[in-house]
Every structure is written in C-alpha cells, then in structure tokens.
Amino acid sequence: YEGNPLFEGLPSEVYRDRFHIYLDDISKLPETETAVGEIAGVAWTKSAPEIAEGFTVIRNVAGAVAVILVIILLAVSLFIIANTVKVTIFSRRMEINIMKSVGATNGFVRVPFIVEGIIIGIIAGVISATVLYFAYDQLIVVVYSLVPWLAVVDIQPFVVPLYGAYV
C-alpha cells in the first residue's frame, strides 16, 4: 500500500497482513493456534477445532466403511468365481470325460480352459476400459455443468495405463 495516495491517512493496523496456516497433522491444531497466538505482532487467531475433529471422524468412518466394503466385495467376487468354475466344469463334464478317456493328462485338460479364460478376460478388459473412458467423459460434462467450480481430474494422460491395467 506504500506510495498509494488512497491509503496515506489510514493507520497501518487497518490493513494487517494475514496468514493462512495449513496443518498436516490436525491433532496439533490447538497447540499450533496457541503457539501462533504467542508470536509478537499477531493480533488474533481463528480456528475451529470442533469442526476439524468432526471432519477427522467423518474421514476415519468413511475409510473404515471403504475397507469393509472392499472386503465384502472381495468375498463376493471369490464366491462368484468359484461358482463359475464349478458350473463350467459341470457343463463340460462330458467333454472332460472324453478327453480323460482317451488318455489326456490333467494339464492337457486345463489348457483349453485357461486359454479361453485369458481370451475372455482380455476382451472384457478392453470393453470395460472403453466403456469407462466414454462414460467418464460424459460424466465430466454433466459434473462441470452442475458444479463448474469443482476441479475434476482429466483422464486423457491416464488412458494407456488404464487400458493396460484393465487388460
């Protein structure tokens, strides 16, 4: 404000410098506020430890719920995969019996199932990655129209790694 004639008659206390302090560890909020308040020249400090603690509790609960959901989804996935294998073996029991009766080893019987699983997995991965890519682009358009101030991650730099991960 120095040199500006509009501010010449005002005392310097009117336009004090302001600082925002961001903490990595929210548990140190009260002692940080106290320490900053004791620094010479600091007029006042403002923080809301109750709100910060509330956000911390919400974050911890959301993390616990996410872990529980992942465990449940993992168990359901394993159950579905096990049942799919059983149904596939049951539906092809005649084919397996014919292969066994002509002298096929266990490894020779497994190879067609493994190859078929790999091919179906690759096709499913490509299809799901493509659907995800186009659905995300459409979702971004909708989100930007509803909440224009929200920063959304651009997926373009991650397209190739996503395809690799899904395949």
Q: For every residue of 143-164, which 3-state class applies, written as one string? A: HHHHCCCCCCCCCHHHHHHHHH
Listed in sequence order, the residues at least 6 apart from 166 whose beta carbon sits closer than 8 Å to its beta carbon are 125, 126, 128, 129, 132
At residue 167, the pLDDT reads 64
Tokens at 157, concatenated: 């730099």
- Residues 64-98 pLDDT 10s: 999 999 999 999 999 998 898 889 888 888 988 89
Which stretches in the chain have pLDDT values below 70?
1-3, 12-16, 166-167
Listed in sequence order, the residues at least 6 apart from 36 whose beta carbon sits closer than 8 Å to its beta carbon are 21, 42, 45
Say what the pTM is. 0.54
At residue 15, the pLDDT reads 65
- The Cα 123–Cα 117 span in angstroms is 10
Residue 140: how many CB atoms within 10 A of its CB? 14
- The Cα 78–Cα 82 span in angstroms is 6
Planar angle of CA 60, 66, 68, nearest 5 degrees: 105
At residue 79, the pLDDT reads 95
**Radius of gyration over every alpha carbon of the chain, rounded to an integer in angstroms:** 31
Which residue pairs, CB below 8 angstroms and at least 24 apart, start in 20-29? 26/52, 26/53, 26/55, 26/56
- The Cα 40–Cα 37 span in angstroms is 8
At residue 160, the pLDDT reads 82
